[in-house]
Amino acid sequence: MASIYDVARMAKVSTTTVSKVLSNTPYVSAPTKERVLDAMRELQYVPSLAARGLTGNRTYVLGLVIPYDPAFLFGDPFLLEIIQGVEAVANDHDYNLLLSVARQADQRSAYTRLLRTGYVDGAITYETFEGDEAAKKLEERGMPRVSIGYETKDRPLNRVHSDDWRGAYEAVKYLLSLGHRRIGIVSGPAKFMSAMDERMRGARTALAEYGLGLDSDLLTYGDFTLESGYRAALPLLEASNRPTGIFAMNDRMAAGIMRRAREYGLNIPNDLSLVGYDDVPLTILVEPPLTTIRQPGIELGRVATQKLFELINNEIQQFDPIVLPVELIIRGSTAPPPS
């Protein structure tokens, strides 16, 4: 594989000059530059990222860290949207994307390893949990990072997320405005995703506006999988005060609820209204199509990555949280409650 030496020799210049051409530094004459470029073409020269990384300079690699069990998050089309957004912007900047998915067990290690290894110029972390020591240390060392999702209060900076509070608020308010008064909620894994807290707050606010509180019987939890929605629906449907409307915190769980409702002989939307979250493609496939809250997944990835580049390029030192708007998408799974 051709190295910078080969190029230098062929163009009859020093490696310094080749490097200058590479980085578009001025003070290289046009003809010289041409010769160098020709040589690079001829030799199919590609600079070694390893060597570049070593000089403390750019590595042209971005880390995308998803510190969760793959089985848990990886089934989620929404994640694919985020990756797609990140990838697109990284690609625009000629950057490569290093994917790191920590599992439960070695969560910290995989995460840390990627970031401390000096192989990435910056990182995007998805939904990191509170109190991540490793991440904190990295930032002290100046590793640019932007977080998609919430994070601890210690770090109210450099993060982008969508407006979870409003999403849930809109979802529940819509059900209320249709006339529903007994509203069930199927939340996500609350322990470690603060987005869920935000949504719960939004939901409660909407309820409060109608003078209602959240009945604890009507709150269950799933882990975002369809099956967990199917399971979480059961207590709701069997509750003495069965809800007439359910808000599920993602679409896959909503689909699970839908299936369970069908088994119960409940017609959606006539007997039970259902609102999902994310607006992943499946929402238009199910029958009836799912009313849901649209989260801009690709945009989330894009914005986060754009900001990351601004950090990397030292154009900014930090930025205030960016909140992307969500949107209530009304489809066929919602209707006024049965009288």
Partner DNA sequence: TATAAATAGGGAAGCGTTTCCCTACTTACT
Partner DNA sequence: AGTAAGTAGGGAAACGCTTCCCTATTTATA
Stretch that binds DNA, among 19-27, 182-190, 217-225, 290-298 (CB under 7 A): 19-27
Binding status of residue 61 toward a second copy by CB under 8 A: yes
- Of DNA, a second copy, none, which one sits near residue 99, judging by CB under 5 to 8 A according to partner kind? a second copy
8 A C-beta contact, residue 293 and residue 167? yes
- Of DNA, a second copy, none, which one sits near residue 116, judging by CB under 5 to 8 A according to partner kind? a second copy
- Of a second copy, DNA, none, which one sits near residue 27, judging by CB under 5 to 8 A according to partner kind? DNA
Give rounded-to-5 percent helix, strand, coil for the chain. Answer: 45, 15, 40
Cα 208 to Cα 204, 214, 306, distances in angstroms: 6, 9, 38
Applying the rule CB under 8 A, the residues between 77 and 116 that interact with a second copy are: 77, 79-80, 83-84, 87-88, 91, 94, 96-101, 103, 110, 112-114, 116
Cα 23 off chain centre by? 33
**Which of 38, 41, 42, 51 touches DNA (CB under 7 A)?**
51
- Bridge partners of 65? 100, 125
Is the CB of 53 or the CB of 245 nearer to DNA? 53
Angle at 197 between CA 195 and CA 200, to 5 degrees: 110
Binding status of residue 160 toward a second copy by CB under 8 A: no
**Which of 286, 293, 311, 328 touches a second copy (CB under 8 A)?**
286
Angle between helices 30-43 and 15-23 (to 10 degrees): 90
The site for DNA (CB under 7 A) is made up of: 1, 3-5, 12-20, 22-23, 26-29, 31-33, 45-48, 50-52, 54-57, 118
